Amino acid sequence: MKANLLIWSTVFCALMLSILDMPNWSMLGRPEWVILVLIYWVLAMPERCGVLSGAFAGLCQDLIMGSPLGKHALAYAFVLAIVMVMHKRLRMYDIWHQAGIVFLLILFQYLIMYWVDLLVGFPAAGLWIIFPALISALIWPWLLVVLRSLRRRFGLMVRIG
């Protein structure tokens, strides 16, 4: 119960950060807070957070952003499925290798969302998708440290085996 409350409160905070008002010049570099938090929780506690959690958070993101329903849900579900398959390997990498993989995962997420935008007839973002992925990868080490300290403060240790 305590683990679920912490996971969903951090996802809620990430949803609020994703709608935070920012100046126009910085909108291209907005980090992908929700998927970053979800990737962390899948790596830390894959038995508590997974593909369905990503799909639900993606639907919430779609409702908040006013994007086509299922756009973020589909992208988050695919990204978290990859993370779940590779989570034991990803946990063994150092923090900067993880940041590089997070960069690739968020690029993949943006490619899925680009594809959905093309299907529904929305204008596509083009090559600008590299900036949020890069900013998110640079934020990953600090987010990892903050969420790990939160998890330890609440006594949620990972069981290995």
Instruction: Decide if pLDDT at 160 tops 60.
Output: no
Checking if the pLDDT of 161 tops 50, the result is: no
Q: Model confidence over 29-54: pLDDT tens digits?
A: 889 999 999 999 999 999 989 999 99
Q: How is domain 2-21+29-152 classified at the architecture level of CATH?
A: Orthogonal Bundle (1.10)
Nearest to 120 by CA among 77, 71, 55, 62: 71
pTM of the complete model: 0.92
What's the gap between Cα 135 and its chain centre? Answer: 13
pLDDT digits (tens, 9 = 90+) for 93-130: 999 999 999 999 999 999 999 999 889 887 766 777 78
Q: What is the pLDDT of residue 158?
A: 62
Domains of the chain, by residue range, sit at 2-21+29-152
Three-class SS string for the chain? CHHHHHHHHHHHHHHHHHCCCCCHHHHHHCCCHHHHHHHHHHHHCCCCCCHHHHHHHHHHHHHHHCCCCCHHHHHHHHHHHHHHHHHHHHHHCCHHHHHHHHHHHHHHHHHHHHHHHHHHCCCCCHHHHHHHHHHHHHHHHHHHHHHHHHHHHCCCCCCCC
pLDDT of residue 60: 96
The pLDDT of residue 28 is 78
